[in-house]
Amino acid sequence: MVDWLEREASDAMGSFKIEAVTQHGLWLEPGRYWLYSDTEIVKFRNRSIGDQQQPFRDHAIHVAGRRIGDLHVPVRMTLAMERTMSPSRSVKPDGDDRLVRQRLIEIGDNTTFMDVMGRLERNQRQAIPARMKAFKAVREKIDTSRNAASAREDNAIVM
């Protein structure tokens, strides 16, 4: 990745903040990323959903207060990751199966309201499910690696 960044950014390389060096990374949108090796999460952030104990949590449950007249009623609300993702980003494969580029919707002088709405709807139908599919694939890969490591530890013979 560092080699790719050097080619892409050349002299601007110093402006990048390298948070961790890992084998793999998944970036879904600002505030949602996972940096990982084959068997463990090195660093992650899942804005408004995740916590340090559950890196692959895909929903959060909150209690919100609603007022009905003079009565305050607690209401249980589920916040699903796929419903909180921004449709303003499209995804495009970069020719390499391992790299997918995200692109923000660009608005120019000639962009119409209908163009923007069409792109948002297309991203809602295509880009968000593609990002969720990548998230689930990484979760499955890490969970499978952890389970395999646990099974080896459980079956280990101590002498």
Number of domain units in the chain: 1
pLDDT band at 159 (very low <50, low <70, confident <90, very high): very low
Domain-embedded: residue 156: no
Domain-embedded: residue 158: no
Domain-embedded: residue 83: yes
Q: Give residue 119's domain range.
A: 2-148
For the record, the structure tokens of 139 come out as 């979760």
Domain-embedded: residue 157: no
Helix-, strand-, coil-residue percentages of the chain, each rounded to 5 = 40, 30, 30
Which residues on adjacent β-strands are paired with residue 29?
A: 32
Domain-embedded: residue 159: no
pLDDT digits (tens, 9 = 90+) for 58-93: 999 989 899 999 999 999 999 999 999 999 999 988
pLDDT band at 52 (very low <50, low <70, confident <90, very high): confident
Beta 89-93 vs 32-36: how paired, if at all? unpaired
- Cα dihedral 143, 147, 148, 152, rounded to 10, equals 150
